[in-house]
Amino acid sequence: MSTIAVLGAGTWGSALAHCLAQNGHPVRLWSRFESEIEELKRNRTNRNLPEMVLPDGILLTADPAEALSGAGIVLVVVPSVFVRDTIRFTGAFIEPDAIVACCAKGIEADTRMLLTEVIQDELERQQRPVRAIAALSGPTHAEEVAKDLPTLIVAACEDENAAKEIQGLFDGSCIRPYTNTDLRGVEICGALKNVEALAVGIARGLGYGDNTAAALITRGMEEIRRLGLAMGCQERTFFGLAGIGDLIVTATSRHSRNNRCGMLIGAGKPVKEAVKEVGMVVEGINTLPAAAALCKTYGMEMPIIDAVRAVVQDGARPDEIVRDLMNRRLKQE
């Protein structure tokens, strides 16, 4: 049975560690912040998941060597903007036969790399080859996994055997895993759905209803699909768990930071104040610059993403942007 190192002790990292430990795996939960680890040791709970108690068998550590020595599976569960720095800090301790799975969702702003590409790039810089690099994605709010509620996830890797090995970790838990070899497609869905969910939240904040939300989700998925196909992804991915499934939950759930942030912006809050009020990372804001850049690179017309960019980056009024979207040239679906 593989030892699992979970890099990142936020809500999702803590929930994954809890789930895997309950399923009988040896788990080490790491944070770069000693204070965070000390709090977890004292309380055995994450402050944002107060009902979930971390099993005593989970090793809590701020020492990367202690977390990664002998670990066959490494889950990278930090915000997208910290993925590169996390691998830069821990890469020297990752075993060469390990499978590294990215559980964050986003695109690096400067390089426009997907996060598994960021991990690969950083490991190559350190001359630290690993067995495989994968992604875990899907409609997976930590708040529900922490309560052992039924959840479906996708283990994506170009190496199908590696994907199946990750899949097996969750067999018998509250998480039912599927495999997918379309790694790029799964990552594109996971990154861009956060931006589309911001749009749905903004519409809700403006007082618009279910008709508007359904339209934005549907047309938002079409934007993601078109860009993904231009990038060489497989069409079926966009209609699966990592695609439409993840977009639905992120655009509608009360647990969604992106949805809540969008609602605050639509209701008139400045973007920085909205993010601060949410109190946790809003990945749609982090991903937006790279998403807008990819639209230009591939010559894609993506009006919803462009509308969110205009509101968040240019300070455009949300109500005027919605009016512009509604008055676009009529076309066939």
pLDDT at position 204: 95
Reduced 3-state DSSP string for the chain: CCCEEEECCCHHHHHHHHHHHHCCCCEEEECCCHHHHHHHHHHCCECCECCCCCCCCCEEECCHHHHHCCCCEEEECCCHHHHHHHHHHHHHHCCCCCEEEECCCCECCCCCCEHHHHHHHHHHHCCCCCCEEEEEECCCCHHHHCCCCCEEEEEECCCHHHHHHHHHHCCCCCEEEEEECCHHHHHHHHHHHHHHHHHHHHHHHCCCCHHHHHHHHHHHHHHHHHHHHHCCCCHHHHHCHHHHHHHHHHHHCCCCHHHHHHHHHHCCCCHHHHHHHHCCCCHHHHHHHHHHHHHHHCCCCCHHHHHHHHHHCCCCCHHHHHHHHHCCCCCCC
Q: Which of 193, 269, 272, 276 is catalytic?
A: 193
| 321: confidence class by pLDDT, cuts 50, 70, 90 | confident
330 pLDDT higher than 80: no
276 labelled catalytic: no
1 pLDDT higher than 80: no
pLDDT tens profile 180-213: 999 999 999 999 999 999 999 999 999 999 999 9
pLDDT tens profile 205-256: 999 999 999 999 999 999 999 999 999 999 999 999 999 999 999 999 999 9
Mean of per-residue pLDDT scores for the chain: 95
Go through the domains of the chain in sequence order and give each one's CATH number.
4-181 (3.40.50.720), 191-326 (1.10.1040.10)
